[in-house]
Amino acid sequence: MPPRLSRRLDWNTTQNPLSQVEAVARAAGRLRFDLTSTNPTTVELFDDGPKLAGALGRAAMACLARYTPAPGGSPEGRRAVAADALATRGVVIDPERLVLTTSSSESYSFLFKLLCDPGDRVLVPQPSYPLFDYLARLEGVETLPYRLEDAGHMGHAGSARWEVDLPALDQALRLHGERVRALVVVSPNNPTGSVLRRDTLAALDARCAERDMAIVSDEVFGDFVTRPDPEHVPSVAATPTACLTFSLGGLSKSCGLPHLKLGWIALGGPPETTRLAIDALELILDTYLPVAAPTEQALPELLQLGAGRRAAITRRLATNRRILADTLAPPSPVTALPAEGGWLSILRLPAIQSDEAWATELLTEDGVLVQPGYFFDLPRDSHVVVSLLPPPAVFADGIRALAHRVAVRMPPG
């Protein structure tokens, strides 16, 4: 008999049809242009390996003799993160209101433990990460989606932004509010690239404060805003609010170092509430002591190296955005939707077939791998999502092949 496992793991693990096609294409060597990679270590971006090795080697030697863990992270590490936030984005964070974790996924796990009882709910944006359902379920928590809509669809002429559908959010709160403990925002959002604005934060803060809910703001792409605006919120935790807030960041995106496994949570909101939350969060962290000592020891040096890595990522994003604009200029039947930041681009394709059908045809006929929009719960069909990180030569050839495939599939006239 198979062992009885937790019902938190009873999701469907069968490969979806596109993944099966991808596996066959990879095995046969027919995958020519992977436009889905968001791993910055595999796309020919960096040449600072010796410097990284030196930083980690010095840190390892410093902490091998004695291990002195601190539940929320060392004071030196927390000060380094706060100083980096000030230098890169002008964000003022009190190091005493900041804790270290191993990743943003772990940060979510700890915050769901902190804020929710089993069966409680968290509001999560759609479209956005496909990961939220898994992270929440593993903590015995349910997700409740709230919609982002592109402003044109909502009737805001002349605006290319994606915005929170506040009436739909209010309806969800009326139906489920008694068990909703937190609202998650992602800024810049993945994949829409939309950035949280001050008026939207004020509206969300009012709703959350009224219901004793917290705001969890995922800001891992916060260093990659391409169209800055004074109305953008650079960090929710650094913005005065009536409700408790948490801002998430980490080395994975800000420094292109996903393999070194270090993230952080900054806390904001009313001082007394924040102090209680920090104490409770440090109790959780003391139970796990998650951060590896060498990475934490090297953190100040890693953040310094991270400035160069961020610059390399930013240049790559800009180059590939220019390729998109040039390749998909009218009369191309493919449109890249506007975005204010992030690492992804949403492409709108003609609605002559589904997004999955487009992705499958591009892979089987042209060796171009893209993600269908439904992976991110995009609201309407015939969208695919591409990463802006691949090497420019690969990206350019892949986008040209995509545009050509769509053009030849268009009906005459």
Q: Would you kindly state where each structural domain of the chain is located, as residue ranges? A: 11-47+307-409, 66-305
Q: What is the pLDDT of residue 227?
A: 84
Directed axis angle between helix 392-409 and helix 355-366, to 10°? Answer: 110
Q: What is the pLDDT of residue 156?
A: 41
Q: Contact at 8 Å (CB) between 146 and 172?
A: yes
CA 163-337-222 angle, to 5 degrees, is 60
Q: What is the pLDDT of residue 65?
A: 81
Q: What is the pLDDT of residue 348?
A: 96
Domain covering 66-305 assigned CATH 3.40.50.300 in the classification: no
Residue found by looking up tokens 């929440």 in the block: 136
Extract the tokens encoding 233: 């919120």
Helices (H), 177-270: 198-210, 251-254
Extract the tokens encoding 22: 């991808």
Q: Contact at 8 Å (CB) between 172 and 123?
A: yes
Residue found by looking up tokens 């609202």 in the block: 183
Extract the tokens encoding 173: 């709160």
Identical fold between 11-47+307-409 and 66-305: no
Q: Span 11-47+307-409: which CATH code?
A: 3.90.1150.10
Q: What is the pLDDT of residue 3?
A: 83
Extract the tokens encoding 302: 């890693």
Q: Contact at 8 Å (CB) between 127 and 378?
A: yes
Q: What is the pLDDT of residue 151?
A: 61
Spatial CB neighbours of 9, under 8 Å, sequence gap ≥ 6 = none
Query: Residue 383 CB: number of other CB atoms within 10 A?
Result: 24
Question: Residue-wise pLDDT tens for the chain (413 aa)?
Answer: 778 888 888 877 777 888 888 888 899 999 999 999 999 999 999 999 999 999 999 999 988 888 888 999 999 999 999 999 999 999 999 999 999 999 999 999 999 999 999 999 999 999 998 899 999 999 999 999 999 988 655 444 344 679 999 999 999 999 887 899 999 999 999 999 999 999 999 999 999 999 999 999 999 999 999 988 999 999 999 999 999 999 999 999 999 999 999 999 999 999 999 999 999 999 999 999 999 999 999 999 999 999 999 999 999 999 999 999 999 999 999 999 999 999 999 999 999 999 999 999 999 999 999 999 999 999 777 999 999 999 999 999 999 999 999 999 988 76
Extract the tokens encoding 278: 């920090």
Q: What is the pLDDT of residue 413?
A: 60
Q: CA-CA distance, 317 to 343, in Å (whole number)?
A: 7
